[in-house]
Amino acid sequence: MFKEYDVIVVGAGHAGCEATHAAAQMGCSVLMVTMDMSRIGQMSCNPAMGGIAKGQILREIDALGGMSGIVSDKTTIQFRMLNRSKGPAMWSPRSQNDRWRFAEEWRLTLERNPNVDIWQEMVSGLVIKNGVVKGVRTGMGLEIAAKSVVLTNGTFLNGIIHIGEKQFSGGRTAEKAATGITEQLIEAGFEAGRMKTGTPPRIDGRSLNYSKMEEQLGDENPEKFSYLEEIKPIKKQRSCHITYTNEAVHEILKSGFEKSPMYSGRIKGLGPRYCPSVEDKVTRFADKDRHQIFVEPEGWETVEIYVNGFSTSLPEDVQHKALCKIAGFENAKMFRPGYAIEYDYFPPTQLTSTLETKLIKNLFFAGQINGTTGYEEAAAQGLMAGINAAINVKEQQPFTLERSDAYIAVLIDDLINKGTEEPYRMFTSRAEYRILLRQDNADIRLTEKGYDIGLASIKRLNLVKNKISKTADTIEELKAFKPSTEILNAYLEKSGNALVREKTSLYSLLKRPQLELHNLQEINDEIDNYIKSIHKDVAQQVEIHVKYDSYIEKEQKIADSMKHIDYIKISPEFDYKKVHSISTEAREKLSKIKPDTLGKASRISGVNPSDISILMIHLSK
């Protein structure tokens, strides 16, 4: 019934979709196995993509040839560039999406690929022989052979849903949990743990009074995630709204705490620190008399509303009573209550930098199974696991990225070297080279790498080469463009800027923090026409390079100086127990994680610089 596939992907969430697409685009035969084909690409929580650091990840996925950015752009209902008031390293694109169209677009994308097959059933175990994965075993007892397997199980592994004192097995609302895989992997020697996440209630938008809320509009000139020119920015947008909890809401929430699974101890797993439940917020920030609530539409046509900021597992009657005390929610009708979900994960220190497991060859983990939270983090891991699963089949060199290359690399490096005991979420602060890792230059950083492995298209490569060339040419043109001092000073005096004493280039003027390219258009018609002729993406690159050139150069030098220890290899057989001069903690951590380079060893929690210096001496011998 089944042929032997090159790659089997278990799960059809954000990680599963990207893994399937990547491996198939690279020429592999891929079978995606999911328990419900109607839920492929499902946005299980909020209907939005991107945000702080997450928007950068989406652009990196797009630059490498992944699909999450394109799917997001095609289903956007509102777009905003966050942190515009800060420097470009902090700019982060975010879209509000149509939940149903997003899932539909992902499914159609995969179905259009002749290398992708889909099978609807639960995977209950793996076929493993002599430490190598050989395929999967389904709930019906079918064995399907594959050369590589990628597990992207999300919250389904022994998932338990909690609403107040009620709890029942499930991987997502109205969907059953997956069983069998955890137990088999533990028997094979893997360490497993439990984590928790949650979601807010969904509300009938027809029952809300938006006049009592603050309207939140999208950007006046919205951008997009994908670098491809044929993908266009959204023209029409839907508004979101903002409202707030209050002390009356908090008192009602507190009345349900004794029935809360979080406070009664029924939930053992740790939840996401940076996306706490509303009951967590009321407890941890008791000094605050209100908390912000984002009222987000689920799509273009539907009346369903996502209540962002009100994630909860309290009893449904308490949820509803509390909601009705929020301004604009007085007559709110609930479609379904919020809930918490507890699930199995596997500490990611058990993986290599390709996301292949150390214990079983050709087996990859991606997404929440690795202890992460967020669509974007999952999609990034799925992409890298799919790429390397395909590379294993082709017997080529592994594909990895450096921390100075991408946020994706920071994410994976943190996971495999530091591990995580709570759901890991990406922030710009986690990246030490964030001036280099901006959302505007992901294509410059990564597209050629994506093309070299057979994922990014030649069209993408030509686009980025043209962008690099045009940027360099424009910078030189700005250096050569020197209007007369009379023309410049007339403009500078009128605009309240310091005058020049000698002939000055537009490049030098642009270095002034208070002047931007569009300001220079006011100098005269010739300059206005010239600046209008510069492509928008090129103009952005030029402006950033002119204004931040010294900072970019300094950070690049730091990144280059640190790379030497990443090239110092460590054999997996290296015996750290014989290196008595390093700390006991360092010996234990290094022996457990077994980093393959000195650079990775240096980033393990508990390993300090003196330990690295001693190791360097031993390795040189």
Report d(CA 501, CA 547) in Å as an integer.
Answer: 21
Question: Contact 67/456 with Cβ under 8 angstroms?
Answer: no
Report d(CA 307, CA 290) in Å as an integer.
Answer: 15
What pLDDT does residue 264 have? 66
Task: Compute, in degrees rounded to 10, the torsion defined by CA atoms 387, 389, 392, 394.
Answer: -60
Report d(CA 312, CA 341) in Å as an integer.
Answer: 10
Q: Is 571 helix (H, G, I), strand (E, B) or coil?
A: coil
CA 619 from chain center: how many Å? 36
Report d(CA 27, CA 461) in Å as an integer.
Answer: 19
Least Cα distance to 234 among 248, 223, 226, 245 occurs for 223
84 token code pair: 């515009």
Beta strands 304-308 and 202-204, pairing class: antiparallel
Report d(CA 588, CA 383) in Å as an integer.
Answer: 32
- Supply φ then ψ for residue 349, to 5 degrees: -65, -5
pLDDT per residue over 290-317, tens digit each? 999 999 999 999 999 999 999 999 999 9
**Helix-, strand-, coil-residue percentages of the chain, each rounded to 5:** 40, 20, 40
Least Cα distance to 593 among 580, 574, 620 occurs for 574
Extract long-range pairs of 550-558: CB within 8 Å, 24+ residues apart: 551/435, 552/435, 552/436, 555/433, 555/435, 555/436, 556/404, 556/436, 558/433
Report d(CA 545, CA 303) in Å as an integer.
Answer: 45
Report d(CA 537, CA 85) in Å as an integer.
Answer: 19
Low-confidence ranges of the chain (pLDDT < 70): 263-265, 274
Q: What's the first-to-final CA gap in the chain, in angstroms?
A: 56
What pLDDT does residue 343 have? 97
Question: Contact 226/70 with Cβ under 8 angstroms?
Answer: yes
